[in-house]
Amino acid sequence: MALSLCLCLCLLLLLPPPAAPAPAPVPALVSRTDWAACRILSRELSRLLATVTEPHPVLEEMQLSEEDPQNWPPRIRCSDACDPPTLDTNNTRCLHRIHQALQHYRDLLGSDIFRDQPQPRLETMMDQLLELVQQKHGHHPRHPVAPSDHWSHQLLRHLALKRLRSFAAVMSRVFTHSAS
- Residues 22-61 pLDDT 10s: 434 333 334 567 889 999 999 999 999 999 987 766 666 6
Mean pLDDT (whole number) for 5-12: 43
The verdict on domain 33-50+75-180 having CATH code 1.20.1250.10 is yes
Whether residue 129 contacts residue 102, with contact meaning beta carbons closer than 8 Å, is answered with: yes
Mean pLDDT (whole number) for 131-137: 73
Residue 4 pLDDT greater than 70, yes or no:
no
Q: Of 93, 91, 106, 104, which is closest to residue 179 (Cα–Cα)? A: 91
Q: What pLDDT band is residue 142 in, cutting at 50, 70 and 90?
A: low
Going from N- to C-terminal start, the domains of the chain cover 33-50+75-180
Whether residue 74 contacts residue 104, with contact meaning beta carbons closer than 8 Å, is answered with: yes
Type of residue found at 111: S
| Virtual torsion, Cα 121, 124, 125, 128, nearest 10 deg | -170
| List of long-range contacts for 6-10, beta carbons under 8 Å, 24+ apart | none
Whether residue 126 contacts residue 109, with contact meaning beta carbons closer than 8 Å, is answered with: yes
Predicted confidence at residue 139, as pLDDT, reads 53
For residues 147 and 101, which has the higher predicted lDDT (pLDDT)? Answer: 101
Predicted confidence at residue 18, as pLDDT, reads 45
